[in-house]
Amino acid sequence: MTLPLEEYIEQTFFFETFRSQIEEGYSAQEFLTAVRSELLTTVQLPMAIDFLLTDMKHTGILSAAMRRITHYFTPFQTFVIAESEREESRFDFRVALEILAREAKYRSESPPIQGLFFYQFETLCRNRLGYDRGLETLVQDDVYNDDWKEWLTVLRKQMGLVDLAEMIFYRSEFYKIKGVETDAVPLFGEREGRIAFATRHRDPVFLFSALSRHLGYPSVPCQKRATEEENIVPFLQRRIEHLESRLQLLEEELRGGVNLNRYFVQKPGEQE
């Protein structure tokens, strides 16, 4: 899925500002309510925010609503936010927002598909988000063509069994240059293949670092080790927002029942 340039620019601003406001102590609902007026009216993001805000008032989380508007948010974006919202997760919500801000900025620069893959895969690796479910979100993204989807499916099945650098080398132009006959469509260029060949059987972190140095691929924000006190703050914030949503539903139930009409899209011309 590819959005217009303006969407990625506004997404970059949205995620960056979201992270800074959370650090200053604002709640997610407060930010979503205020930020809409700052965005361009010609993009779809304000409408997406309206949907997020409405849903979040009742669920306390963002990922549930993001999962329902797949025409706007990618499966990878939803996955990153969902991982930060899990109650047992140590993955910081602020880091998740920074990851998505950098990804949106990178997409606004019309990056090569290889660079986008390396950024997303490094996000899974450095933040320990899980290769199986993480790679599944990449397969679901239409930004990758059928050749990529086929390779990502194989990669998902073989992670932990086959060296990542080896798999990149085998699907690169550099593999052909070395005189090996293959019918596989190259997915990576000569330079990516050369770097992968030079970093085989090492920690993938060294591969990502070399790609960043030589090809200018963006670095990935990663979870920093925090004290017990620092870890408890975002956890308590998520718990409070969940409790507020549940309390609101209970109050509506006591007043005569929950209004379910808000969960349905009203067709033009229909009356409430």
**3-class secondary-structure state, position 131:** helix
- The confidence score (pLDDT) of residue 240 equals 78
pTM for the structure as a whole: 0.81
Taking CB atoms within 8 Å and a gap of at least 24, the contacts of 238-245 are 238/60, 238/61, 238/85, 238/87, 238/93, 239/87, 241/27, 241/28, 241/29, 241/56, 241/60, 241/61, 242/60, 242/61, 243/60, 244/60, 245/56, 245/57, 245/58, 245/59, 245/60
CA distance 30 to 130: 31
Residue count of the chain, please give it.
272
Sign, CA dihedral 104-105-110-111, equals negative
pLDDT at 140: 95
Looking at the DSSP bridge assignments, the partners of residue 162 are 159
pLDDT at 79: 97
Q: Per residue in 188-211, pLDDT tens?
A: 999 999 999 999 999 888 999 999
pLDDT at 13: 97
CA distance 230 to 223: 12
With both helix axes pointing from N to C terminus, report the angle between 146-158 and 131-139 in degrees, rounded to the nearest 10.
170
CA distances from 97 to 79, 102, 134, 200, 256 (A): 12, 9, 16, 32, 38
Residue 228: predicted pLDDT: 52
Residue 26, Ramachandran bin (φ over 0: left; ψ between -120 and 50: alpha; else beta): beta
- Name residue 36's amino acid: R
Residue-wise pLDDT for 68-86, tens only, equals 999 999 999 999 999 999 8
pLDDT tens digit sequence for 139-154:
999 999 999 999 999 9
Q: What is the pLDDT of residue 266?
A: 52
Stretch among 41-45, 58-62, 145-149, 198-202 having the lowest mean pLDDT: 58-62
pLDDT of residue 106: 95
